Amino acid sequence: MPASTMSDPAAVRHSPLAELLWPRREDRSFRALRGAILMALGTALLTLSAKVNLPLPYVPMTLQTLVVLMIGAAYGWRLGSATVIAYLAEGAIGLPVFAGPVGGLAPLVGPTAGYLYGFVLAAFATGWLSQRGWDRSVLWLFVAMGIGHVLILGTGFAWLAFGMKLGADKAWLVGIVPFIAASLVKNALGATLVPALRRLFAPRA
């Protein structure tokens, strides 16, 4: 377990990647502008990742989980989860940001709604663990992102099984099984990229 998680009081000051690349300042208007720009960048990347998809019955294969988990790790829990909430809000007001062709409220109550809400939990959890030093190591970030993936797939499964009334067996078949292998690959990619970028841009942080 990263030492900072256990006892080091500096853990709470561990900076996520985005802060290393673009440090925060005390100035309130700068902080607001910085937050808005990072959120806009994050929601744009999420939209792009939704559009790279492979249609499957009920739930498409997309790159969204990779981007959600990288946003959590790179932005930290607060800005990371705020970015995902902003993404859902963009969809709710009708922008076509999700995997399907339309935005609006339908996707937020449709078959993939559970995954979409799970994105918020995953960005929060991955960001929280990253800010405790788990983003320094490929192995620990793999675990943190794995927890994120379990939250996304778990909420997606629960919604399909009970919200959409598919039942647990069918929800498992259409909502989990097709995504296990790709989730492991995305997890490994995200967990490799973030520490590598940290080392590249801030070798001593």
Ligand X SMILES: O=C(O)CCCC[C@@H]1SC[C@@H]2NC(=O)N[C@@H]21
**Residues found near ligand X in the complex (CB under 6 A):** 50, 59-62, 64-65, 98-100, 107, 112, 115-116, 152-153, 156, 179, 182
CA distances from 50 to 2, 22, 55, 77 (A): 32, 26, 11, 21
CB environment 48-62: b (16+ within 10 A), e (fewer): ebbeebeeeebbbeb
Query: Could you give the angle at the alpha carbon of 15 between the alpha carbons of 131 and 193, nearest 5°?
Result: 80
Residue pair 133/2 in contact (Cβ under 8 Å)? The answer is yes
Pick the closer one to ligand X by CB: 1 or 54. Answer: 54
Pick the closer one to ligand X by CB: 132 or 145. Answer: 145
Pick the closer one to ligand X by CB: 2 or 114. Answer: 114
| Least distance between ligand X and beta carbon 149 (Å) | 8
Pick the closer one to ligand X by CB: 4 or 126. Answer: 126
- Encoding tokens for residue 122? 């995953």
| Least distance between ligand X and beta carbon 61 (Å) | 4
| Least distance between ligand X and beta carbon 114 (Å) | 9
| Least distance between ligand X and beta carbon 91 (Å) | 8
Range list of β-strands (E), 22-181: none
Exposure of 169 by Cβ count < 10 A (0-12 exposed, 13-18 middle, 19+ buried)?
exposed
Pick the closer one to ligand X by CB: 35 or 96. Answer: 96
| Least distance between ligand X and beta carbon 183 (Å) | 6
